[in-house]
Chain A
Amino acid sequence: MASQKQTQTQTDTQAVALRSLARRYTAQTPRRLRVIDAYMAFCVAVGVVQFVYCAAAGSFPYNAFLAGFGSAVACFVFAANLRMKTDPQNRQQFPGSSAEGAFGEFVFCHVVLHFVVANFLG
């Protein structure tokens, strides 16, 4: 009985934690970051679709799958980088860098990435 109660409270605390997480996110995140978050969600969705396709229909042109999936992951990661660097809360973590510099890096990474991916698509 006691253990059941404990589990009950545990799930309660979990639900509370999740709800407060969502609340704080909407309250604290600037619009600029939310735009990036949406983009990251988009990358995840694209990646998941490709992965499901690979699992369901076979991985035959493996290079094409890797190129597609890899570029989805890479876009996600680059967006995450951009987000971290433009988040005002993280300002002091990145010495000598600015939002614009971060965007420049973002563009550079993308240029490199897309040549690699284009070569890999075959």
Chain B
Amino acid sequence: MRLLRAVFASAVGLCVLGGSSLAAIHVGPVHVKVMERTGDKQVSQTLEYPQKLASTPKLTASTPFSLAFTAFSDASHQNALALDQALVVMRHASTGDEVTLAGKMGAHGSYRVDVARKQFRAQLAGQPGKYTVRLVLGSFDQGALVYPVGEVQVAGKQARAADTVVYGRREEIRHRFGEPQKMPSVLVSLAFAVLAAAPLGALVAAWQRMGVRVRSVDGAAAGFLALVAAYMALAAAYWVGVRLLPTLAYVLALALPTYVAGQRALSRRRAAKQ
């Protein structure tokens, strides 16, 4: 039983191997270009698989780098093949970080990768150094192909430390409060407080001179005045700290007795006058 299974597995394996050897990706000539800003070509080379780049071109933000190729399904380069994966993988020689660029399909089976200023700044400029460039091609039914094209030298500045992830304690965030308002000195405030209270004394004095005296008040008037005083006390309490809704409840509770008392006191007074 076990033997049978092993035989079966190996047969399957053979079939797979055979299949993959039968169908393979073939890559046509690879055009590698590094342009100067002026349009002159710094490097322009056409590579045949598995040929490699002769020199190590230097890439900067202002020298666009492009790589174009066509994939075929046969060795005679007759039938162009649309791939399921067409990547250019650039691997940093010292750190091993990889930058993967996807190829854009132009005509059927022909691909192109451009590293223009935008991509360069976003992907490469942060980590200058030497990169190996590989084409990684793949198709679901035709197998895969890895083609080391050569090396490029990326110019640029090492990214600042702030851009990299820092683990561990970060700097503490401090909340900044608003600037305190300019206030006059306590002395000035106090002086004005006294000044504001002073007219009260003058008022009392003036009333004294006019001969205002508090006569004895009858019960109704006393009740009324007491209730009004309760209102004033409530306002003060509200200022000091009672919440709004309880205050309103008290206001409503006091309203009716105050109204009745006021009505009675004032009408009695009026009747007494007439």
Listed in ascending order, the chain A residues whose CB lies under 8 Å from chain B are 31, 34-35, 38-39, 41-42, 45-46, 49-50, 52-53, 57-58, 60, 68, 98-101, 103-104, 107, 111, 114-115, 117-119, 121
User: Do the beta carbons of A118 and B210 come within 8 Å of each other?
Assistant: no
20 A-B residue pairs with CB within 8 Å: A31-B210, A35-B207, A35-B210, A38-B203, A38-B210, A45-B202, A46-B199, A49-B198, A50-B196, A57-B192, A60-B182, A98-B270, A100-B267, A104-B263, A111-B231, A111-B235, A114-B232, A115-B235, A118-B236, A119-B244
Give the distance in Å from the alpha carbon of A60 to the alpha carbon of B181 in the complex: 7
Contact residues in B for A99 (Cβ distance below 8 Å): 270
Other-chain residue from B206, B235, B236, B262 in contact with A38 (beta carbon distance below 8 A): B206
Closest to A62 in B: B181
Quick check: B196 and A115 within 8 Å, CB to CB? Answer: no
The CA of A37 and the CA of B134, in the complex, are separated in Å by: 100
Total contacts A-B at CB 8 Å: 77
CB distance from A57 to the nearest CB of B (A): 4
Give the interface of B toward A (CB within 8 A). Answer: 181-184, 188-189, 192, 195-196, 198-200, 202-203, 206-207, 210-212, 228, 231-232, 235-236, 238-239, 244, 247, 251, 262-263, 266-267, 269-270
A101 to B263: give the CA distance in the assembly, Å. 9
Query: By the criterion CB–CB under 8 Å, are B183 and A118 in contact?
Result: no
A42 touches B181 (CB 8 A): no
Residue among A42, A50, A103 with the highest chain B CB neighbour number at 10 A = A42
Residue of B nearest to A61 (CB): B181
Report Cα–Cα, A68/B247, bound state, in Å.
21
Cα–Cα, bound, A41→B228 (Å): 24
> Across chains A and B, which 10 residue pairs bring their CB atoms closest together, nearest first?
A45-B199, A57-B184, A100-B266, A42-B203, A118-B239, A118-B235, A38-B206, A114-B235, A60-B181, A53-B192
- Check B202–A42 contact: CB distance below 8 A: yes
Q: Closest A residue to B189 by CB, please name it.
A: A57
Query: Given the complex, which residues of B lie within 8 Å of A35, measured CB to CB?
Result: 207, 210, 212
Q: Is the CB of A39 within 8 A of B203?
A: yes
Complex CA–CA separation, A35 to B251 (angstroms): 30
Measured CB to CB, the nearest residue on chain A to B236 is A118
